[in-house]
Amino acid sequence: MSLLGLTYVYKNEELSVEAFKEYRLNKGVVCKKCGSQQHYWLMSKQQFQCVDCRFRTTLRSGTVLQGSKLPYSYFFIAVNLLTKQGNRLTLDDFQKHTGHKYYEPLWEFLNKLKINLDEKERTLILSTYSDVLGKRFHSGLITDNVLPLKPEFELVSVQELEHVAAR
């Protein structure tokens, strides 16, 4: 199994946003203004809103992705590689898997994840992603092992994933 194939399933931005949102909800979103943990998801703004004081929290705020502009899919690509290779994962490798042109933002991104996410957290993140996939395709059948190789390093569309799920 080629390593690049391992990344395929995580290259969808829409599912990555959904999975990141679920991950945050599982961990509990805390309102910065009033401390409440009751939030709902404001679809139109793509933000959480506090049930008690209506203060809004962006999806990245207060997480390891705060301040980063890189796609959410990079988060899952990185975490998947980190679970497979541990902190030996190199920046070169990560760059290969994302296809991202610039070194510097990736460097900061990857280091942050290496430092802040322990093994347990990485596992939780990936299982949240599989749950979201499973819900979307009504099966848990898309795994690393059934993925086609994608020569280009582009993000993958939901349709392409659906196609894989249907096989």
Q: Is 49 in the site for Zn ion (CB under 5 A)?
A: no
Q: Which stretch binds Zn ion (CB under 5 A): 43-51, 70-78, 82-90, 156-164?
A: 43-51
Q: Report the distance separating Cα 158 and Cα 41, nearest Å.
A: 22
Number of residues binding to Zn ion, judged by CB under 5 A: 8
CB 59 within 8 A of CB 17: yes
Our finding on whether 53 is near Zn ion (CB under 5 A) is: yes
Number of continuous H segments (helices) and E segments (strands) in the chain: 7, 3
Q: Does 29 bind Zn ion (CB under 5 A)?
A: no
Residue listed under structure tokens 């898309």: 142
Nearer to Zn ion, 36 or 47 (CB): 36
Does 36 sit near Zn ion (CB under 5 A)? yes
Tell how far CA 116 is from the center of its chain. Answer: 15
CB 63 to Zn ion: min, Å: 18
Q: How far apart are the first and last CA of the chain?
A: 18
Task: Give the residue with the Cβ less far from Zn ion, 31 or 113.
Answer: 31
DSSP 44: T
Q: Which residues bind Zn ion (CB under 5 A)?
A: 31, 33-34, 36, 50, 52-53, 55
